[in-house]
Structure 1
Amino acid sequence: MSTWELIQGEALAVLRGMPDESVDVILTDPPFSSGGRRESARSLRKSMIRGTEDDAWIAGDAMSTNGFLWIMREVGWQARRVLKPGGHLLAFIDWRMAPTLSAALESADLRQHPILVWDKTYFGMGSMFRNQHEFIVHMTAGNPGAPQRRDVGNVIPCKPIRGGAHPTEKPVPLLRTLLSVVCPGGGTVVDPFAGSGATGVAALEEGHSFIGVELSDYYARVARERLAGVGGVQEES
C-alpha cells in the first residue's frame, strides 16, 4: 500500500538521514534563485514582478548563483547516494539557471540526460518573445533503467496552475506524466522542496509512496492537508 510522509525541515539535513539506495525518483522544484538578470540584481527587492511581498515569497529564492550552485551540488551528492541504481532525478528550472543546475548535479556524479521542456500551451510575461515554457533537468544515478512507457516526448504540453496553493505550484497532471515514465510500480518518490505537496499528490495518485521535505511551516501544513485528502493511502506512522 502507498504511504506518505511530510517532514518539516531543511532539505539537505533530511536527505542526509535517508538510507542508501532507498529511493526510485526525486522529482522536485527547487527555488530558482533567478531574482534578476544580473548577479547584482538577484538580492534586490522587486527585481522580478511578483504578486506577493518578499516575506511571503519562497525561502532561498534570492540566493546568489554561487549559493544555488553549492546547495544543489550538495543535494546532488545526497541524491546520488539515496537513489537506487538507475534511479531518476527530475528538477524544474528556468532558462537563467538551467546551466548552473545541470553543472551542479553532473559534478555530483549524476548522469545527465537531454533536458525536458514543459510547454505551458499559452504564453505569459516577456519583454520580447513571450514566455511559454520551463525546463526540467533530467539526471540518473548511473545508467537509467528501462522507461515504464515510451510514448512521452521531451516537450510536454500542460496548462499551468492559476491561483494555486503555492506561487510556483506545478500541475499534478504534468507531474503524473513524468512519474509514469521514470518510476516503477509501487516505487518511492522524494521531493526535498515539497512546497504545497503537488509532487506527493501525483505520486500517490500513480500508486507510489511519497516522502516530502518542506522548510516552511505554512506550506508543510498545506502539503499535509493535500496529501491526507488523497484516497486509499495512509500517512507513514
Structure 2
Amino acid sequence: MPTPAPLDPLPRLVVFDMDGTLCDTTQIIVDTWHATLIECGFGSPGHDAIRHYVGSAIKASFPALRPDSAPGDIDVFMSHYRDNYIAAVTRSHPPLFLGVREILDRLFEAGTLLGVATSKSRVGLDRTLDALDLRRYFVAFATADQAPSKPHPQMMLDLLRDTRTDPQDAIMIGDTTFDLEMAHHAGVRAVGVTWGAHSRETLVKVKPFAVVDGLSDLLRERGPPSPR
C-alpha cells in the first residue's frame, strides 16, 4: 500500500511559509543580508551562517548573527536591508517554485482554508502576494511585525483563531526548523520541504509530521476538507 501523502485526507486549514516554500527567494535573502551587513560596516558571518537564520524575523536573527552589535545597529541594518531587498527582488523577479500554483489551485478548489505565516512584514507580504497574484488563494495572514518571530507559536495561534480551526485540523508547511517548531509549539502538525533554506537533515531533527522533496509529494488524492 502506498504511503499516504501528508495532505491526505485534507485538513481544514493549510498554512504556508512564503520565502523558500512558495517563492524562490532564499538566495536573494542570503545575498542581501551578506551585502547589507558589509555595507553597514558590521561584517558578515558568511552565507552559511546567514542561511541558517532565514525564516526568522530580522529582530530575532540580527542579534544572533551579530551578538556584538551596539544599540541602534539593528535599526540601521533594517533600513538598508529593506531598500536593498526591494531592489534585488525588482531586478530578479523571483518566481514561484514549480508546481506551487497547481497545488494552491487544488486546495482552493477543494474548499481548504489557506493561510500564510511569514517572517516578512505585512507590507512586504502584501507586495509579494500582489506581484505573484497569490492573494485570492488565502483567507488569513500572520506576519513578523504583528506577532513574535518564529518559532514562537503566536502566528499559528492567530491563524487558528482567525479561521476558527482546531490545532489537530491544521497543517503547517515550511522550509525551516523555525516553521516546524512554531507549529509544534501550537499543537499543529508540520511538514518540512527540502527546496528552501534548511536541508532534509536539519529538518528531520525537529521531528516533523513529514518531510517532502517535491510539491507533488504533498497531495496525491483529491478529497473534501474536514467539516466546517
TM-score by length of 1: 0.47
Considering fraction of residues, name the structure with more helix.
Answer: 2
Considering fraction of residues, name the structure with more strand.
Answer: 1
